[in-house]
Amino acid sequence: MIFQDDYLSVDLAVIGAGMAGMSAAVMAIAHGLTVAQAGLTGEILFSSGFLDFLAIHPISEKRFWNNPWHAVHKLAQDHPDHPFARISDSLMHHVWDTMLTFFSRESLPYHRAVDENTQMITSQGTVKSTYCLPQTMLAGVDGLKQQLPCLLVDFCGLRGFSAVQIADCLQNRWKNIQALHLCFPNTNGLSEQYPEQMAKAMEIQSNRKKLAEMIRPHLKDAHLVGVPAIMGIENSVQAVSDLAEMLGRPVFEIPTIPPSAPGIRLKETFERALPKMGVKQFLQNRVLRVDALPNGNFSLDIGNTEMQHTITAKAVILATGRFFGGGLVADLNDVRESVMNLPIVSIPDRFQWHRDDFFDPGGHPIHLTGIEVDDQFRPVNASGMPIYPNLFAAGSILAHQDWIRSKSGVGLAFCTAAAAVDACARLISDKS
Ligand SMILES: Cc1cc2nc3c(=O)[nH]c(=O)nc-3n(C[C@H](O)[C@H](O)[C@H](O)COP(=O)(O)OP(=O)(O)OC[C@H]3O[C@@H](n4cnc5c(N)ncnc54)[C@H](O)[C@@H]3O)c2cc1C
């Protein structure tokens, strides 16, 4: 990698700092590529911490699958144009292993049963099927499975998390829940509390001790204790096990509404680890312009509103997300790709973007639009030919998938990023 103050030349430039962009950077470093990355925060901050793979297919029938691999195979069979249909099982296994090893090495261990989705309760009092969940939530999975008596704690001023409401909504799924309402230590009943500040407070052992003293008199016959996900940012596992030890019971976290501590943990983990691994990050910056150079490489202008850096790259992965991330932009009549004005799979009539019923079980056609790619995850033109041999796309910007309804957000980001990086690494090694 050549890097001077404002000149950088790399193998791969990743555009986007969401789950797809971050995992692409991790995978590319594992391939020995030099990497630069630009992007704003993306959806990671909004993450519950659950890493979904695939739980529902077909979405119109809302059919749930215990085994996500079986779901992926059926989806690929039914929709050969879905991005999962272009990726081998072995690569998907590899990316999950790589990412979970990465998180674990960075003190953010995740639980996964390789061939099973796991059921876990949410702050809405529903039960969600996900593929991997933070270790700090695991005791809740066993509690639900075994119907263990549970004490569920909420806090004054923490919005969107009511222990009474969760217990009430879960009546038919987990009967043995008692609710406890507390004021968070040292807050004197403040009317508003935020998960990030609470999580930072829980990093201090004396605060955990105070919390344990407040909970202890209410334990009675509870076998385990559930709390909102506020148990630290940097070492949540330590914070949870410390509280559990003080209470003499397993403790588990439940995701809060965003921005949640598990989302912040993921974001900070990537931002801390990737520069150490050699990725040159331009965070809180966007790629303002991409040009194909006569030698086949790309030049990228990076900045906030004005260009501050120019870098060159042998290949680019576009992982700019959908409407939320900014990769797709819609006006009254059209949808366009925001960085390179690439063609997208569109639907002709504005009035067909959404179905009449917002909750239509089939989903909305607009959610299936995006970038069409070939088997190498290269954006293609109307004739199905790659637009550039060294431009790849990954994540939610891809067409023919509805990650929201199929519960496949992070799985789609990780697996497509791995496929794009694989193809890119092959191309670069063939050239050299
Ligand atoms: C509220 C919410 C909750 C979620 N919960 C879950 C969950 O529990 N489990 C799960 O599996 N998934 C969940 N997801 C989905 C998951 O977070 C997304 O599917 C996934 O993050 C998509 O990742 P992405 O990288 O493709 O896109 P995004 O996360 O949208 O990232 C796009 C990135 O591209 C960047 N970008 C855009 N334009 C430019 C540009 N010009 N230059 C540089 N960068 C640019 C953005 O700044 C951003 O960094 C949730 C999403 C939301 C919104």
With 0-12 / 13-18 / 19 or more C-beta atoms within 10 angstroms meaning exposed / middle / buried, residue 217 is exposed
* Range 288-303 average pLDDT: 97
Question: pLDDT per residue over 184-197, tens digit each?
Answer: 998 876 778 999 99
Question: pLDDT per residue over 157-213, tens digit each?
Answer: 999 999 999 999 999 999 999 999 999 998 876 778 999 999 999 999 999 999 999
Report the separation in Å between the CA atom of 327 and the middle of ligand 1, taken as the mean of its atom positions: 10
Pair type for strands 127-130 and 118-121: antiparallel
Q: Residue 30: enclosing H or E segment and its boundaries?
A: helix 19-30
How far is CA 86 from its chain centroid? 21
Domains of the chain: 117-262 (3.40.50)
Cα distance between the two ends of the chain:
15
Say what the pLDDT of residue 354 is.
85
CB 318 within 8 A of CB 15: yes
Pair type for strands 132-134 and 150-155: unpaired
Q: How far apart are CA 42 and CA 34, in angstroms?
A: 23
Instruction: Measure Cα distances from 143 to 119, 241, 419 in Å.
Output: 11, 16, 37
Q: Could you give the residue ranges of the DSSP H alpha helices within 56-88?
A: 68-78
Report the separation in Å between the CA atom of 406 and the middle of ligand 1, taken as the mean of its atom positions: 16
Q: How far apart are CA 44 and CA 267, in angstroms?
A: 6
Pair type for strands 35-39 and 7-15: parallel
Question: pLDDT per residue over 56-88, tens digit each?
Answer: 999 888 899 999 999 999 999 999 999 999 999
Say what the pLDDT of residue 317 is.
98
403: Cβ below 6 Å to ligand 1?
Answer: yes
Say what the pLDDT of residue 97 is.
98
Residue 389: cis peptide before it, omega within 30 degrees of 0 = no
Report the separation in Å between the CA atom of 46 and the middle of ligand 1, taken as the mean of its atom positions: 9
Q: Is the pLDDT of residue 1 over 70?
A: no
Report the separation in Å between the CA atom of 80 and the middle of ligand 1, taken as the mean of its atom positions: 24
- Name the residue of 47, 120, 415, 416 to mutate for ligand 1: max ligand atoms within 8 A of Cβ: 47
Is-above-0.85 flag for pTM?
A: yes
Say what the pLDDT of residue 127 is.
96
